[in-house]
Structure 1
């Protein structure tokens, strides 16, 4: 701005100075004569000269600079107006709960070159980005943007804006736990603003000071600040802040055991929120205070009702809150209260309040609600140029094209979006950082698109496990891992085929906690007492390699657990993860006769558990879950939306007509691949198509190409999360979940690669990965690897090629018309019957993930 001012500063010269002095003398004389004529007094002379001086200086300044300055201001206003409208639209979206969409708008304004030329606008953008970053839990970015805004306003004269920036910075420091800094910053905000401080900033500052005092145990000081905030907010009609101050006063009253006073404060907060359409986050926080007061009054039913409404609000916010760290922050923010909600509901149910069962089931649904609820119906592939310009599709196409270049896959089928993506020339110069950002950006856009698809269907059904239990004649087990920071529990709901529901809550502690931490890789669970000396791995069945890029795999606690023949740890996990009634049911099942079906729906924390290897009868060689049930997994009951009324009976559906199958076998142990190829040829005969190159594979997956019943890919996999989850097709080619969004898959898809069944396990995110993308792009069942699959020869020849041998049996069973989950169970049990007792490492790696569990009711 300084350089621009110098470039347009009008030059002065002697003539201009002489004209100025002549003008000054003339006006002075005129002023003197007028004052004498009007008043006749001499004391008006100094006043006249003062007025004259102001007039002259003003006229000269305007003459010298007004044309240029006013022109620049007009040009800046013209440029800033549309950008400010975008920021206003972002505010509206944020208040409506659409934070991810709001961030999109603000980022586009920040990237506009005009923003860098307009310091005031840049400061305003920094404030917005800071606010939204707080909402998404990115406190490092929030603090950086707030500091930038503070530094700008320190150079200006706008005390109101300066104090607002300081107030927001203090809030971030409070969230970061730097209480001393926060107190100093908020105090400075009040001092800087003084009487010029924005009213809402003044109220929020008092609320922050109240929270700081409460955290430090200074209850009287907290009450004083909260009361000041309440008085000012009521006076200035800041209704959400008025409610927040009353809720704070309620918490203070509870700390002093003044329960009735606390109830009075929450009632006033409720009235304040009812006076306008307060944003959902304010209502969620108020519901927490309401629940705490109900607890204080001994009204556990009222507390549960408040918690249930709170979780409905949290679920609604999560759907539009962005991805990854944003949702993880939001989930963690309310994890303590979610934990209390579950324990309250379970205690009420145990005491005989059966209405609490509905609340418990609703909590499970709300806690695991994801964008996958309508993902199956959300079409991403477009067919017309006009479609590409809608809903962010043009940028999605660009990102997919970038990823296509990075993945070295330039050939492929024809089609509108497919052609745009796959005819892009390879870009070996794309850096890993650019690829990571492309995946991140793509997930955000895909999230928004799925969000819009959900909103477009107001009749989307609720994911009720009873509907699926009856439909598929299956037991349904939902399980989640919840924690309040001090305690951890497995909470779940077991629903029987007749629709009866059994809630359970199992504390995770001691040796069982450490064992679960070993198996799923959660370090915080492994900090407690260890379950004895970790077992030595059984190396007799160790194979040469695995079907993944996992060099450190054999050194992990998870590998040691899986490589042990000892079934007792798996029995411990079974008692932790399964309700007692289900344990008894499975214990009574006859492995050689009729066994029940079991659909397991775990959250992201429990997804990595090898559920088939849980032991319900540790003294019986056939005591694993795989022996006692036909088991399938689902990342979300939402994946089954739209299928409840149209089951296709599997019995005899394909019998005698194996249908067409395709394969892509590359990169893993050659002898194992020969076993698979021979089995496929024997099972499908002329109906099998072997793709030899990545390009041929992509052609077979063309949405407009030939249809297949079964597809199999035996390659190397990786454990990258989300849409970056990928398969290595050859030395130069990878196929990511992101690219799979544009393909179509057969009804049964076997991805015989290590970690191909992995999903995004980061807290708060939708369980995206290769399996869910395939299920959303045509597959009904995906069979993949939940851990690195053993590959090649074994130390003992009896155990060589375990994965390939299980797959060879599986191909034959599928060709005979056996449903996928049943076929996998049978193949795994046949392998164990051939080789004798072996650790789960050799046989439990493949799992069946389904959106259509239509296996026969009995096996």
Structure 2
């Protein structure tokens, strides 16, 4: 009965509206028609509202809806701003606005707004490579629009869903969804949705090698895109038609399509991702016709565009998606450049070096050196800074490091604590991730609008300048893997400025070996196969499965084949020959290693450059130092104190939590080296005071604690049972010129593909340090059974402290300390000495003193 009464109300109101409109029109003539239309519109709207409210309570709901409508407008405006930010590449800013809209109570009560937000989140997740989230949000849009009558919106949401399914590799699902999109939209389908749908169907058919159907869809997309001036899709259709023409061995047709594509691609509306895709097609067509120089030029432009995307979109917003998306094209770019180099083509070496730089480009240095100091409460008006400091406050409270300092004033921590509470006090991992995003957004603001500033892709880092100025060798390496084939691309730059590119293929066996020594292959559970030397012993980390890993098994075997095999894979033959002929007791060269994230965890010091003898490791033949990116060498000097300012001769230490016997060795060594100039912090508060930017600077800082291998700003040191010091908290501290952190994993960086190399070492380098010495795998600690050497890590750093106090450059001092301890201990396996590495922006020239004199 209630349903019939509701229908009757609609009928009565409709009849009244029509009757009044007709009578007014007949009575008043032309103006009456206007009145009739206005009144009819008003009454139809009223019909729909009244039909949804069956009582006086429903009338009150109408009043509430009117009030909420006033709140919806700012949210829709914010949604538009988020789309603008996403289009410009600022995904962090767009995500922040999306989160704010989603948290607003009105959004849940306005289904259309919620659906629009889901569409935005679908686009953002898709751009990040999070296709599962993108599919979930697209399905929410589809469900909403299926209930309505807007066929255009339904077809658009189906088109979005089909694209995500295509990216997930579910081509059959995608095809069904896209066909439904065409049927649902019909003549009311948005032109851009129709063009995109035809393009996706063309790609699906092309993947099936159904070139006839793919060509039909591509031609339909081209025709519609040209008519509607959908320039990016017009270019994409022409590019696909050109590639299909190459496959059909029709080169003239391919060139014709590429000429048409080039005529459209320069429109201002052509976004960078579309430009990158077009450059890939240009390179493929050029390579197929033997025009390798043109192909290389296109590949360079493509990599410059990818670097711009990564720089502009921050850390977590790139993830591994862009690395994987362009991995095949990047490998082709290096292959093309190396082939031209072997032919003696001018500019091929420059191009090879440029590709390495662009592939490992990071905006980290400038971003972190921008600082987080806040001078007045008014600066909290900046939403990014307010969010940053709110999260820092929550993280400091969680980690037990709430000590205030000038970088984060006490009044600010107090005021931002409520912001953190209001945000629901996110879990630790979410807090670190969110902080990385906000810091990245603040960096882009400081840059003045994006990645084209001083640290953008056009500000190339050249290894020659550093190598010649410092008199050292520089080795850049990058692992390229498109899923089917893999290569190590490298560039060796000598002190005379000469450059030697190489491209070494990685077969299945070497790929497995590389995975084992870097720890990317999971632990084994065959404890009975443990080598004799792998007897129990402590490490400076919580690493319960460490001794079950292939990485550990190689490190405890001084004769493992890995050390010779990886030398041939990661170093060029000419450099191996040079190092093999170097006298380890004489003048050895400096070698700065700049590996990408995939190769960072290689124990480089253990590589064998001489086939026999105890002194044939890479550490014996060179002073080794590491750096995650050459961009850390460019720009302004760190904020560390210059020589002669009173910091020389001053050191601090924080020694806690590891084996007491080893700590006693270190404490005695520091006292002997620095005397009254050393300050031993007795608790976390003392360490934070020593690192406070307002305190007098130190020349050397030493910390021996437990560490963890968490990625990004969650990378941390365990100061005591209840206190953790993370890379996030370190953003507000100031570090001495030389920082020695003899903790497990303290030299590791964020190894997730597509991310900046963030971690304790790079935060310290960007906050005052010139050199960070830390552990790249679980460092040995405590006593070993039998006659083998105990307190290995403590005794190595004890020698190191004495050399640093004498003024020996840190990387040189580390080499001497490791070699001296190895000699005294009877040349033990790499696990006991190769874990400490030097990460520095200031590698000294050749070591001209005999290590025996140290």
Structures share fold, TM-score greater than 0.5: yes
- 1:521 is matched with which residue? 519
Gaps of 5+ in 2: 30-35, 54-58, 850-854
2:812–2:844 contact (8 Å) kept in structure 1:
no
1:604–1:760 contact (8 Å) kept in structure 2:
yes
1:541 deviates by: 7.2
1:382 deviates by: 2.6
Q: 2:437 aligns with which of 444, 453, 456?
A: 444
1:572 aligns with 2:572: no
1:291–1:302 contact (8 Å) kept in structure 2:
yes
1:120 deviates by: 1.1
- 1:838 is matched with which residue? 828
Could you list the per-position Cα deviations for residues 599-646 of structure 1 after superposition, in whole angstroms to 9, with x for gaps in the alignment?
A: 000000000011111110030211111111111001111111236899
Instruction: Give the 5 Å matches for 1:52-71.
Output: 61=47
1:193 aligns with 2:185: yes
- Between the aligned partners of 2:665 and 2:423, the Cα distance in structure 1 is 38
- Between the aligned partners of 1:395 and 1:576, the Cα distance in structure 2 is 45
Q: 1:424 to 1:648 in 2, by over 3 A?
A: closer
2:471–2:845 contact (8 Å) kept in structure 1:
no
- Between the aligned partners of 1:254 and 1:323, the Cα distance in structure 2 is 37
- Between the aligned partners of 1:839 and 1:780, the Cα distance in structure 2 is 30
- 1:245 is matched with which residue? 237
1:852 deviates by: 2.1
- 2:481 is matched with which residue? 483
Instruction: Give the 5 Å matches for 1:387-406.
Output: 387-390=379-382, 392-406=384-398
- 1:604 is matched with which residue? 597
- 2:708 is matched with which residue? 718
1:373 deviates by: 4.5
1:593 deviates by: 0.5
Instruction: Give the 5 Å matches for 1:300-699.
Output: 300-324=292-316, 326-375=318-367, 377-390=369-382, 392-413=384-405, 416-417=408-409, 420-421=412-413, 434-455=427-448, 458-460=453-455, 461-523=459-521, 539-540=532-533, 542=535, 544-566=537-559, 568-642=561-635, 659-699=649-689
1:853 deviates by: 2.1
Moved more, 259-268 or 359-368: 259-268
1:405–1:428 contact (8 Å) kept in structure 2:
no
1:375 deviates by: 3.4
1:287 aligns with 2:285: no
Could you list the per-position Cα deviations for residues 542-590 of structure 1 after superposition, in whole angstroms to 9, with x for gaps in the alignment?
A: 5620000101000000000000020542011111100111101111111
- Between the aligned partners of 1:131 and 1:226, the Cα distance in structure 2 is 23
- Between the aligned partners of 1:644 and 1:445, the Cα distance in structure 2 is 25
1:410–1:425 contact (8 Å) kept in structure 2:
no
- Between the aligned partners of 1:654 and 1:63, the Cα distance in structure 2 is 79
Q: 1:378 to 1:680 in 2, by over 3 A?
A: same
- 1:727 is matched with which residue? 717
Moved more, 572-581 or 70-79: 70-79
SS in structure 2 at match of 1:829: helix
1:700 deviates by: 1.1
- 2:750 is matched with which residue? 760
1:413 deviates by: 4.0
1:819–1:855 contact (8 Å) kept in structure 2:
no
Instruction: Give the 5 Å matches for 1:780-795.
Output: 780-795=770-785
1:320 deviates by: 2.2
Moved more, 248-257 or 181-190: 248-257
Moved more, 60-69 or 786-795: 60-69
- Between the aligned partners of 1:729 and 1:472, the Cα distance in structure 2 is 37
- Between the aligned partners of 1:209 and 1:317, the Cα distance in structure 2 is 27
Moved more, 638-647 or 676-685: 638-647
1:209 aligns with 2:201: yes
Instruction: Give the 5 Å matches for 1:6-21.
Output: none
1:409–1:422 contact (8 Å) kept in structure 2:
no
Moved more, 368-377 or 740-749: 368-377
- Between the aligned partners of 2:652 and 2:679, the Cα distance in structure 1 is 5
Instruction: Give the 5 Å matches for 1:750-829.
Output: 750-829=740-819
1:477–1:494 contact (8 Å) kept in structure 2:
yes
Q: 1:26 to 1:77 in 2, by over 3 A?
A: closer
Given the two structures, how large is their TM-score scaled by the length of structure 1?
0.89
- 1:127 is matched with which residue? 119
**Greater Rg, structure 1 or structure 2?**
1
- Between the aligned partners of 1:70 and 1:443, the Cα distance in structure 2 is 44
2:587–2:846 contact (8 Å) kept in structure 1:
no
Q: 1:250 to 1:682 in 2, by over 3 A?
A: same
- 1:740 is matched with which residue? 730
- Between the aligned partners of 1:280 and 1:417, the Cα distance in structure 2 is 41
SS in structure 2 at match of 1:327: coil
SS in structure 2 at match of 1:794: coil
Moved more, 724-733 or 505-514: 505-514
1:354 deviates by: 2.9
CA RMSD in angstroms, aligned pairs only = 3.8
- Between the aligned partners of 2:42 and 2:758, the Cα distance in structure 1 is 71
- 2:212 is matched with which residue? 220
- Between the aligned partners of 2:314 and 2:647, the Cα distance in structure 1 is 46
Given the two structures, how large is their TM-score scaled by the length of structure 2?
0.90
Q: 1:336 to 1:544 in 2, by over 3 A?
A: same
Could you list the per-position Cα deviations for residues 507-535 of structure 1 after superposition, in whole angstroms to 9, with x for gaps in the alignment?
A: 111432221111013349x99xxxxx999
1:346–1:503 contact (8 Å) kept in structure 2:
yes
Gaps of 5+ in 1: 39-49, 528-532
